[in-house]
Amino acid sequence: MLAPRITNALTIDVEDYFQVSAFEPYIRRDEWPQRECRVEANVERILAMLAERDTRATFFTLGWVAERYPQLVRRIVAGGHELASHGYGHRRASDLDEAAFRDDVVRAKAILEDLGGRPVLGYRAPSFSIGAGNLWAFDVLAEAGYRYSSSIYPIAHDHYGMPDAPRFAHARAAGLLEIPVTTLRLLNRNWPSSGGGYFRLMPYALSRWMIRRFNADERAPAIFYFHPWEIDPGQPRIAGIDARTRFRHYVNIARTEGRLRQLLADFRWGRMDEIFLGAGAGLGAHAPAAASSAAD
Ligand SMILES: [Zn+2]
């Protein structure tokens, strides 16, 4: 491969299929506990897939999920992965005032740290919901003790995005880095190159080309994300949803696990904290592993 051997960041947003933002108009929060839960089994499959490749990743986990599946949280940590926060109840930051946002991110951090037994440094907002309208969120995250966020998507999209935001890690508050998911700069605009629905929609070869091109052009780690429900063709179908939401949620869902396996084979992957906060950044037991992987 011609691209330099860069360790890219692999991230998983741990939520169940009925919690995605696009289903908010169709599924009330108070119905969540009655829905068939699939997240535990799907994360188990992901952990097995990563173990086969001896790969570590960052799991941005909902507090709501962690409370119900404490063993799952412990298995993520025991697998050598980074446990990070996706907030408590999958409320978009852009839908919350400052006090409600603070409650959500503080609550999630406390639950995850209690179960995982180590500091939670990273946060990803549901649906990349931090942007020009709520930059105060970064001060709240820093005050809550987070060290980094991966919550801005520097593209134009109907549900989220901040197209003119910096495309690389940058300080947003005292002690807090924002690390935006990856975009490729081509033809004077930013193209999503970091997973999610676009990874299911596009041919795999195009996704791979975009990450290789990003690594080669920028000499920087790419940040890729996916969800446990994206490898679950057997998930219950939500009835009565509009055609666009249905397409976005289910497109190529039966192909995604195979593509992810290929992605694991085609690139080198690691944890957000080890890649962006550095081996000596107070990461305890994980620091030596980061130092050795950086050397080879
Ligand atoms: Zn999410």
DSSP assignment of 18-42: GG-GGGTTTS-GGGGGGSPP-HHHH
What distance in angstroms lies between residue 14's CA and the mean position of ligand 1's atoms? 7
What distance in angstroms lies between residue 100's CA and the mean position of ligand 1's atoms? 18
What SS3 class is residue 270? strand
**Is residue 63 within 8 Å of 87, Cβ to Cβ?**
yes
**Integer Cα distance of 249 and 76 in angstroms:** 25
**Integer Cα distance of 225 and 182 in angstroms:** 10
Backbone angles phi, psi at 252, to 5 degrees: 55, 25
What distance in angstroms lies between residue 2's CA and the mean position of ligand 1's atoms? 34
What distance in angstroms lies between residue 290's CA and the mean position of ligand 1's atoms? 27
What distance in angstroms lies between residue 17's CA and the mean position of ligand 1's atoms? 10
Q: Which pLDDT value is given to residue 157?
A: 75
What distance in angstroms lies between residue 91's CA and the mean position of ligand 1's atoms? 9
Token digits for 79?
Answer: 């697998």
Residue whose token pair is 């998983």? 12
Q: Which pLDDT value is given to residue 158?
A: 75
What SS3 class is residue 164? coil
What distance in angstroms lies between residue 226's CA and the mean position of ligand 1's atoms? 9
Angle between helix axes 98-116 and 136-143 (nearest 10 degrees) is 40
Model pTM? 0.91
What distance in angstroms lies between residue 116's CA and the mean position of ligand 1's atoms? 20
Q: How buried is 199 (Cβ within 10 angstroms: 0-12 exposed, 13-18 middle, 19+ buried)?
A: buried
What distance in angstroms lies between residue 127's CA and the mean position of ligand 1's atoms? 6
What distance in angstroms lies between residue 52's CA and the mean position of ligand 1's atoms? 26
Token digits for 237?
Answer: 């179908």
Residuewise pLDDT in 10s, the chain (296 residues): 555 589 999 999 999 999 999 999 999 999 999 999 999 999 999 999 999 999 999 999 999 999 999 999 999 999 999 999 999 999 999 999 999 999 999 999 999 999 999 999 999 999 999 999 999 999 999 999 999 999 999 988 777 788 888 999 999 999 999 999 999 999 989 999 999 899 999 999 999 999 999 999 999 999 999 999 999 999 999 989 999 999 999 999 999 999 999 999 999 999 999 999 985 444 433 333 333 333 33
What distance in angstroms lies between residue 125's CA and the mean position of ligand 1's atoms? 7
Give the amino acid at 34.
Answer: Q
What distance in angstroms lies between residue 20's CA and the mean position of ligand 1's atoms? 6
123 closest CA partner among 95, 100, 96, 104: 104
What distance in angstroms lies between residue 143's CA and the mean position of ligand 1's atoms? 22
Q: Which pLDDT value is given to residue 11?
A: 98
What distance in angstroms lies between residue 69's CA and the mean position of ligand 1's atoms? 17
**Is residue 90 within 8 Å of 111, Cβ to Cβ?**
no
Token digits for 292?
Answer: 């050795």
Q: Which pLDDT value is given to residue 220?
A: 95
Give 69-107 pLDDT, tens digit per residue: 999 999 999 999 999 999 999 999 999 999 999 999 999
What distance in angstroms lies between residue 291's CA and the mean position of ligand 1's atoms? 31
Q: Strand 183-186 vs strand 223-226: parallel, antiparallel, or unpaired? A: unpaired
Q: Which pLDDT value is given to residue 4?
A: 53
What distance in angstroms lies between residue 90's CA and the mean position of ligand 1's atoms? 6
**Integer Cα distance of 260 and 10 in angstroms:** 11
What distance in angstroms lies between residue 227's CA and the mean position of ligand 1's atoms? 8
Q: Which pLDDT value is given to residue 211?
A: 96
Q: Which pLDDT value is given to residue 286?
A: 34
Q: Which pLDDT value is given to residue 279?
A: 58
What is the dihedral sign for C-alpha 115, 119, 122, 123?
A: positive
What distance in angstroms lies between residue 16's CA and the mean position of ligand 1's atoms? 9
What distance in angstroms lies between residue 200's CA and the mean position of ligand 1's atoms? 16
